[in-house]
Structure 1
Amino acid sequence: MKLNYRIVIFAFAIVFGLFFSLPSILQTQDGKKITLGLDLQGGLHMLLGVKTEEAVKSRIKSIAASVKYYSEKEEILIDSLSFDESSISFLLLDKDDLKKIKSFLHEIKGAVVVATGESISLTLTPEEIARTEEQAISQAIETIRNRLDQFGLTEPIVARQGEEKILVQLAGIKTAEDEQRARELISRSAKLELMAVDEDRNARVNSMSNSDAVSYGDVILEDVTNPHMKYLVREIPILDGGMLTDANVGFDQNNRPLITFKLNAEGAQIFGDFTAKSVGKRLAVVLDGKVYSAPVINERIGGGSGQISGNYTVMEAKDLSIALRSGSLLAPIYLMEKRSVGPSLGADSIKASMIALIGGFALVIGFMVVYYRMAGIISNIALIVNILIILSVMSLFGATLTLPGMAGIVLTVGMAVDANVIINERIRELLHQGYSIQKAIEEGYANAMRAILDANITTLIAAVVLYAYGTGAIKGFAVTISIGILASMLTAILGTHGIYEMLQNRIQKSKNNLFWFGIKG
């Protein structure tokens, strides 16, 4: 026996495979492990819809807030600033400011500005409306994914389905409490707005109708803890959550949880300017249409930071800060379909998959030993190491194993031994032709390489395409197949070749081709 670089690399592959796959195989407490997917451990499956028309309305409202801030900053006199679902309108009191205000409005992407005398209106082009609606769906997918990642769920599946639907699959959701918490975190708009209280009319808010409030450019909002307490606030917010950069859980002097937030530079400037000229008045902190607090402004507030207090638990405060930190939804979402996959169904899937894996594995091993004898045993060693490497790589990356992923492993068992079948057949052919053991092994590997590379590369290309364009379970299948192909190149070509080189002298001395390769002569 003699060592060679191939057998050394193969030995490292064996150690790597054993070390990183054992935590998943034995389900130990320590070490990185493979996460089971929704179909294997149970969880929650939801199909969500997006109210894209609300995103357009929100965009119009945000533009109105920008117009209000710009006009005040530049001391441009405007009146009757109002907006509806598709347009903004206001009166310009000084015509000398027309050029300046039109220049500002034309910088707004997708805006159509019409000036008729002192009346100015702004609408969005159909293309901009379509882009806003499309952005609302894309942003909802990204926001939901960010929230679930911070929630602590491993490998949640969040993908677009159709034109305006979002598929969400959460593995490991087993209790009704976890399900409710996840649903609330996903569906929460987390739309933060800082709005000025209309101090002149707020005393009459309880006797005022919504139409009365609208006529004053106001809106009536309820207190989050007391629905009977109402606030009359300016409909156009001072700023919104789009300028928020961070949100975390804090505690007040009575050790009650609250949420602290920070604004970006633009938001901090707007916040500071407003508080400087509104000393003695109240600022309502509004979240998802509810007033959480309305403190009196005692002085200019610089630094762009604030807090949201309310009657909630630490867990609720944590989830709310996650929702704020990950970004508000541009458009509300609603539940279209929901179903739970029970752990028992997952256990049945695992059992059936394991029977298929072990059954296929046993048949392949048995065939290789019977037909190729010792060469078959060497191929089986490579096959076992190949599976260990697949499990190790998936464990290292915290990959999610789904039912199609297990099917990929079962398929890999056949594909991994395919290379050795080609190599063994090439060696047997050369031995029949009278080649020496050393020459037959070297030529056998050389002749087999073209066919092996051709088959593996084409399959790998197909797997890459499946991963790029597939979703969820299809990606899991592509991942396991890809890892299996790359691992088989290491084990079936490099590893077995190293074993043959190490045993070459013994094979030559024995002169027993039936024992080593399953052929006579």
Structure 2
Amino acid sequence: MLQIPLWKRLTIILVCLAGLLLAVPNLFYSRVELHNDAATALERGAVPTAQIEENLALWPEWLPSGLINLGLDLRGGAHLLAEVQLEDVYESRVDGYWPEIRDALRDLRGEVGTIRRQDAPPGELRVRISRPEGLQAAVDAVRELSSPIVSLTGVGERDIAVAGAGDTISVTLSEAERAATDQRTLEQSLEIIRRRVDEAGTREPTIQRQGADRILIQVPGIGSAQELKALIGTTARLTFHSVVGRTSDGTQRVDSDQLLHPSMDEEGLFYILDRTPVVSGDDLVDSQPAFDQNGQPAVTFRFNPSGARAFGQYTSANVGAPFAIVLDEEVITAPRINEPITGGSGQITGNFGVEEANRLAILLRAGALPAEMTFLEERTIGPELGQDSIDAGKVAAIFAMVAVVAFMVLSYGLFGALATVALGINVALIFAVLSMIGGTLTLPGIAGIVLTIGMAVDANVLVFERIREEAKTARGPARAIELGYERALSAIVDANITTFIIATILFTLGSGPVRGFAVTLGIGILTSVFTAIFVTRLLIVLWFERRRPKQIEI
């Protein structure tokens, strides 16, 4: 007899209700999105504002708030193609060797005499000694500072190349080290850009390497390419330097081991700083927006143990001296050290508002880009273009739904009408699964949903045709329905498994739009099988138990 146990009926009903509940937030997309963005901002430590509180109240906390992420072609957003200036890394790497080289040559002062750093092209460090006869000893001492290269292509090679001529020693990165540095720089840039975009609360960005030194960045939902550039284009290099002096002459020459940086707060003021920072932003472990004692926006920061130790030792030994905090070659502030700072934390204040404090905290927390980026291509995709795509997709889906409903009702009568109810539940389940997993819907993804609508009734067609055949020989309509489902099951499973395998291959080997199509197609196959085998059958059983027909017409 045609029977479905009570526990199975309840399970099917609960799955359908849960799917409908998870899909509901997508009907109120803008409101739920503002609510989610406000909640995410508070979780990340943003300063609460009236706007954030207002957005938070747009959607009840007890309801699901998962949304389908809209791709760049549906939502609009920004597209950037950036080139990483790898030469900048060579320069900073070579500069980092200066303290070690200086200390090593000071130990040989009797042989090499006095030492002095000379001006040199970017990526090269030159040191002049007063006793040319000690050149070979100096070169040998500097070469001992080199280290083996840690990479598969640079096995057995050293990281620096040292040469000497006359009274000058020249130090550059070796070719193998440059290749290894290029690889590390690109990987680090990709990770930092991804962290910055994620920290800002954007959804499903595309960030990938292109060629030897380029990075493609596509972020849906962001206002413009300029806004995206402001978020990721800043290197956010934070360093802490001892102050040698101040000047109003921006062209003043300084020693090779010093820097001249402008003040961010006072126009026309420049600071002369030691070139080697006491602590850098690499030692930061956290940064949050806050307010200072005067109620003005500020940014707090916290060092890791090694950075806290260096920071504490310097401030303990230099009480009363000014100390400069430098962000991207501009002095944010240069406070006087009133007492040792041994806790490993501090606060940055300046002429910035709440939004700027939030952005600065994001940049510092995500880390500094290892090199500057030049944007070769930038494009803003307006939301109206994406809305056109969404509207076209809606029209296509509605036409597909109407055509399928008309065909099923005309072909199978009441059973066809019950199948169309299950089809509506099927579409809701697709949206529920995409919302639950945080999937991204693109224009090809909409095509996958439309195709799923057309394919979703295939299983019902197989079942209904089988029931029609069994009704001619079976003993009663209940037996015909039962046999129809039993004997059509293997064909349904086989057909959908092969299609699901194709969707899996598309997702694995494809990229971008192809993967978006594969995701919605694969999810649609799973939900179609569920609704055809369980939901439609439950609806037929409930109808049959209520009417008890003597015969069925399909």
Q: Which residue of 1 aligns with 2:159?
A: 112
Pair 1:38 & 2:72 matched: yes
Contact 1:390 1:483 in 2 (8 A): yes
Larger relative CO (CA 8 A, sep 6+): 1 or 2? 1
TM-score computed with the length of structure 2 as normaliser:
0.78
Post-superposition CA distance 1:459-486 (Å, at most 9, x none): 3344344445555544433332232122
Contact 2:69 2:438 in 1 (8 A): yes
Q: Which residue of 2 aligns with 1:55?
A: 89
Distance, in Å, in 2 between the alignment partners of 1:412 and 1:493 is 16
Gap change, CA 1:161 and 1:99, over 3 Å in 2: closer
Pair 1:418 & 2:458 matched: yes
The offset of 1:313, in angstroms, is 1.5
Gap change, CA 1:477 and 1:115, over 3 Å in 2: closer
Q: Which moved more, 1:79-88 or 1:256-265?
A: 79-88
Post-superposition CA distance 1:129-181 (Å, at most 9, x none): 2332233333333322322222233333433444433333333345x7xx644
Contact 1:268 1:304 in 2 (8 A): yes
The offset of 1:189, in angstroms, is 0.8
The offset of 1:366, in angstroms, is 1.1
Aligned partner of residue 457 in structure 2, secondary structure: helix
Contact 1:2 1:502 in 2 (8 A): no
Q: Which residue of 2 aligns with 1:477?
A: 517
Amino acid at match of 2:249: N
Amino acid at match of 1:133: D
The offset of 1:458, in angstroms, is 3.6
Distance, in Å, in 1 between the alignment partners of 2:103 and 2:448 is 59
Pair 1:11 & 2:13 matched: yes
Contact 1:437 1:508 in 2 (8 A): no
Pair 1:206 & 2:268 matched: no
Post-superposition CA distance 1:346-367 (Å, at most 9, x none): 3322221111000001111111
Aligned partner of residue 481 in structure 1, secondary structure: helix
Gap change, CA 1:461 and 1:337, over 3 Å in 2: same
Q: Which residue of 2 aligns with 1:149?
A: 198
Q: Which residue of 1 aligns with 2:309?
A: 269
Amino acid at match of 2:15: A
Amino acid at match of 1:60: V
Q: Which residue of 1 aligns with 2:412?
A: 372
Aligned partner of residue 511 in structure 1, secondary structure: coil
Gap change, CA 1:9 and 1:309, over 3 Å in 2: same
Distance, in Å, in 2 between the alignment partners of 1:457 and 1:125 is 55
TM-score computed with the length of structure 1 as normaliser:
0.82
Contact 1:112 1:122 in 2 (8 A): no
Q: Of the candidates 136, 149, 158, which is equivalent to residue 207 of structure 2? A: 158
The offset of 1:190, in angstroms, is 0.4
Q: Which residue of 1 aligns with 2:333?
A: 293
Gap change, CA 1:493 and 1:375, over 3 Å in 2: same
Gap change, CA 1:56 and 1:312, over 3 Å in 2: same
Q: Give the root-mean-square deviation of aligned CA atoms.
A: 3.8
Contact 2:507 2:518 in 1 (8 A): yes
The offset of 1:116, in angstroms, is 7.9
Q: Which moved more, 1:359-368 or 1:140-149?
A: 140-149
Post-superposition CA distance 1:105-148 (Å, at most 9, x none): 42774743567899987654434323322333333333223222
Distance, in Å, in 2 between the alignment partners of 1:424 and 1:277 is 87
Q: Which residue of 1 aligns with 2:359?
A: 319
Gap change, CA 1:327 and 1:364, over 3 Å in 2: same
The offset of 1:301, in angstroms, is 2.9
Q: Which residue of 2 aligns with 1:134?
A: 183
The offset of 1:217, in angstroms, is 1.9
Q: Which moved more, 1:435-444 or 1:301-310?
A: 435-444
Contact 1:113 1:121 in 2 (8 A): no
Gap change, CA 1:75 and 1:364, over 3 Å in 2: farther
Contact 1:69 1:270 in 2 (8 A): no
Q: Of the candidates 279, 284, 291, which is equivalent to residue 244 of structure 1? A: 284
The offset of 1:62, in angstroms, is 4.3
Q: Which residue of 1 aligns with 2:262?
A: 222
The offset of 1:445, in angstroms, is 3.3
Q: Of the candidates 379, 383, 386, which is equivalent to residue 423 of structure 2? A: 383
Q: Of the candidates 338, 357, 361, which is equivalent to residue 397 of structure 2? A: 357
Percent identical among aligned pairs is 36
Aligned partner of residue 346 in structure 2, secondary structure: strand
Pair 1:302 & 2:342 matched: yes
Post-superposition CA distance 1:203-237 (Å, at most 9, x none): 6x83865xx43x53222211123452122222232
Pair 1:24 & 2:70 matched: no
Contact 2:325 2:334 in 1 (8 A): yes
Q: Of the candidates 226, 233, 251, which is equivalent to residue 187 of structure 1? A: 233
Contact 1:57 1:85 in 2 (8 A): yes
Distance, in Å, in 1 between the alignment partners of 2:318 and 2:460 is 80
Contact 1:60 1:85 in 2 (8 A): no
Distance, in Å, in 2 between the alignment partners of 1:305 and 1:46 is 35
Distance, in Å, in 2 between the alignment partners of 1:114 and 1:46 is 36
Q: Of the candidates 373, 395, 409, which is equivalent to residue 333 of structure 1? A: 373
Post-superposition CA distance 1:479-521 (Å, at most 9, x none): 3223212212221122233344555667884223xx2xx2xxx
Aligned partner of residue 83 in structure 2, secondary structure: strand
Amino acid at match of 1:59: R
Distance, in Å, in 2 between the alignment partners of 1:316 and 1:218 is 30
Contact 1:13 1:385 in 2 (8 A): no
The offset of 1:320, in angstroms, is 0.9
5+ long unaligned stretches in structure 1: none
Gap change, CA 1:96 and 1:135, over 3 Å in 2: closer
Gap change, CA 1:112 and 1:44, over 3 Å in 2: closer
Amino acid at match of 2:410: V
Amino acid at match of 1:185: L
Distance, in Å, in 1 between the alignment partners of 2:434 and 2:84 is 34
Aligned partner of residue 336 in structure 2, secondary structure: coil
Distance, in Å, in 2 between the alignment partners of 1:321 and 1:128 is 33
Distance, in Å, in 2 between the alignment partners of 1:363 and 1:125 is 68
Amino acid at match of 1:11: I
Amino acid at match of 1:243: D
Contact 1:437 1:504 in 2 (8 A): no
Q: Which residue of 1 aligns with 2:51?
A: none
The offset of 1:457, in angstroms, is 3.0
Aligned partner of residue 419 in structure 1, secondary structure: helix
Post-superposition CA distance 1:421-464 (Å, at most 9, x none): 22333333444565764554444434433333333334334434
5+ long unaligned stretches in structure 2: 32-57
User: Would you say how many aligned residue pairs link Structure 1 and Structure 2?
Assistant: 503
Contact 1:58 1:330 in 2 (8 A): no
Contact 2:77 2:221 in 1 (8 A): yes
Distance, in Å, in 2 between the alignment partners of 1:276 and 1:97 is 35
Distance, in Å, in 2 between the alignment partners of 1:356 and 1:52 is 48
Aligned partner of residue 206 in structure 1, secondary structure: coil
